[in-house]
Amino acid sequence: MVKVTIDGIEIEIPKGTTVIQAAEQAGIEIPRYCYHPGLSIVGVCRICLVEIERMPKLQVACYTPATEGMVVHTNTEQVLEARQAVMEFLLVNHPLDCPVCDQAGECWLQNFYMQHALHDSRMFENKVKKSKALQIGPNVMLDSERCILCSRCVRFCDEISKSNELGIFNRGDRAELQPYPGTELDNDYSGNTIDICPVGALTDRDFRFRTRVWYLSETESICPGCSTGCNINVHHNDQRTYKAGGSRVSRLKPRYNPDVNEWWMCDAGRYGFTHVDADSRILAPTRSIGEEQEMSWGEAASEIMTKLREVISVHGKESVGVILSPQMTNEDLFVARRFFRDGLGLKHIDFEVAPLTTGAKDDFLIKADKNPNTAGARLLGVGARQGSGMTVAEMLEAARKRKLRALYICHHDLANGFAVDVVEEALTAQDLVVFQGPNTNSTSALAHYVLPAAAFVEKTGSFTNYAERVQMIHTAVTPLGESKADWQIFRSLAKEAAISVPYFEAEDVFQALTAEVEAFSGLPYAGLAGQGIALRDGQALPESETVVA
């Protein structure tokens, strides 16, 4: 540990800490463009110059290690002048096209100009012309004139995605960011370059010109794209959806979590939210026997429960199969367990459907298991592997033979895991098929009743990732149409069956869950928000155990 003084604040920090990090710990923000804690340090933007006593020149705070007894000043006249000078230099050739720039509102040039510069322009010469609106990859647009050559994106591609697509070509103020000849910025993590670009040089093809960022609200969530459970922020546009083709969710951004995804997320997760506002969303409970007909929740619950009781009374409890989903939260699954297993006394409950094509994976963030809560479902014991009931495959076989008479299917498109005719034969042989989920699919098309479940951005709850870290999703936007959280749907059905589900909020469910399920016992609800809590002290499960579901 070394002791340093920054702007009069004395702090103790581990040896090797840089001045910029030490300042952060002292609560002092030194402006930065090229410095990013997740990337190597290059010290090129020069905005972080600070004064260090007994050093003749200003030093860059990002590169200089804080040493014992060092006295740093971040707001002397000399520092402020240098900072303003760098700011002025950065804007010399910048097009200042904020009114048409997508970055406006979250641009570090704008922010630091307001905080540290506020100078009048002295630049009366022509600016250097560079290429604009250049599509450098499937997701990323480049405007070289806005680029301040901080090289964050270059370093990201070299050090994090390790795909080395980008370079800075030419010299001096003619220097330009470009993909290497013959390549494009096309890797599984390319969207992160947009996040770390401090200016409007790299913009998101999916997002640009759709929403001004100041119309966006931000809600903490977890990416449901795979079992990694990358921490994200959902950026949603609640008031001006008409400006964005009706979509309420504008984009997903990674949220820092040192134990899970650091600062990053993959492109599949980033752009994988389109189902939320898709036309395929189920808006109301629907009866699809003969003519398709929308119904109220009350009607739907009572009809479904009546039919279910009929099946049970005629063919017994073993004639009903329940297929839950690892897309559902711990809370959803817990209420499902309480309703189907404990309440109705059903035996055949499972959630795992192995996909026909194995999901892509890598050794960084992308896991083959494309579900956010497989570990949670296992810990809650709602799978055939955990109980004694049939697996999904066995259920379909039994359904085809009419040993099963009713199937209750959540979220799954069974065609992803089984041949189409297998699913069709099984489902058409049933007296009752209920489908519950946010979007229609080939399975819902075969159901007698289709119930609208809220999408992950429309509900609060928790997922347990592959390493058994419990992390929270929060309601960002209100559920579309009549849809509601899965556990609330089970609650309505349970009410019809006079089974007690005495929960009003997701928190109530969670409290009951921690009281009842050993693996989760003692988890504080309040501690889940933010970075989540690891059930086994952050120890990751070996890959072989996290069998693809």
Task: Give whichever of 53 and 505 is closer to other proteins, judged by the CB atom.
Answer: 53
Task: Return d(Cα 78, Cα 543) in angstroms, integer.
Answer: 54
The residue among 350, 351, 340 whose CA lies nearest residue 312 is 340
Distance CA 418, CA 402 (A): 18
Residues found near other proteins in the complex (CB under 8 A):
41-47, 49, 57-58, 60, 63, 81-82, 85-86, 88-90, 92-93, 122-126, 128, 148-149, 167-168, 170-175
Shortest CB 157 distance to other proteins, Å: 15
Of residues 151 and 460, the one with the C-beta less far from other proteins: 151
Shortest Å, Cβ 85 to other proteins: 4
Check residue 115 and report its DSSP letter.
I
- In the complex, what is the shortest distance from the CB of residue 118 to other proteins, in angstroms, rounded to a whole number? 16
- The answer to whether 472 and 526 are in contact (CB under 8 A) is no
Listed as own residue / partner, the contacts of 20-28 with beta carbons closer than 8 Å and 24 or more positions apart are 20/48, 20/61, 20/62, 21/66, 22/66, 22/72, 23/50, 23/61, 23/72, 23/74, 28/74
Is the CB of 175 or the CB of 393 nearer to other proteins? 175
**Residue showing tokens 């992160």:** 192
Structure tokens at 113: 């100009």
Q: What is the largest CA-CA distance in the chain?
A: 91
What is d(CA 435, CA 449) in angstroms, rounded to the nearest whole number? 6
Smaller CB distance to other proteins: residue 33 or 463? Answer: 33
CB of 53 to other proteins, least distance (A): 16
Nearer to other proteins, 50 or 234 (CB): 50
- Three-state DSSP class for 140? strand
Query: CA 322 → CA 347, 351, 385, 469, distances in Å?
Result: 9, 8, 14, 26
Nearer to other proteins, 122 or 242 (CB): 122
Rounded least distance, CB 45 to other proteins, Å? 6
| Minimum CB distance to other proteins smaller for 89 or for 525 | 89
Q: At what angle do helices 420-428 and 392-400 cross, to 10 degrees?
A: 60
**What minimum distance in Å lies between the beta carbon of 263 and other proteins?**
23
81 or 362: CB nearest other proteins: 81
Residue 177 is inside which H or E element, if any?
strand 176-179
* Identity of the residue, 170 or 239, whose beta carbon is nearer to other proteins in the bound complex: 170
CA distance 252 to 406: 38
Q: How far is the CB of 87 from other proteins (least distance, A)?
A: 9
At 92, list the tokens: 């010399």
Q: Quick one: which of 224, 218, 231, 222 has its CA closest to 257?
A: 231
DSSP notation for 492-540: HHHHHTT-----SSHHHHHHHHHHH-GGGTT--GGGTTTT-EETTTTPP
**Smallest separation (angstroms) from other proteins to the CB of 55:** 11
For the bound state, the minimum distance from the C-beta of residue 154 to other proteins, rounded and expressed in Å, comes to 11
d(CA 443, CA 409): 8
- Cβ 41 to other proteins, closest distance in Å? 8
Q: How far is the CB of 169 from other proteins (least distance, A)?
A: 9
The helix-helix angle for 297-315 and 486-496 (nearest 10°) equals 60
Q: Strand, coil or helix: what is 172? A: helix
Kindly tell me which of 53 and 173 has the beta carbon lying closer to other proteins: 173
Compare residues 176 and 277 and give the one whose CB is closer to other proteins.
Answer: 176
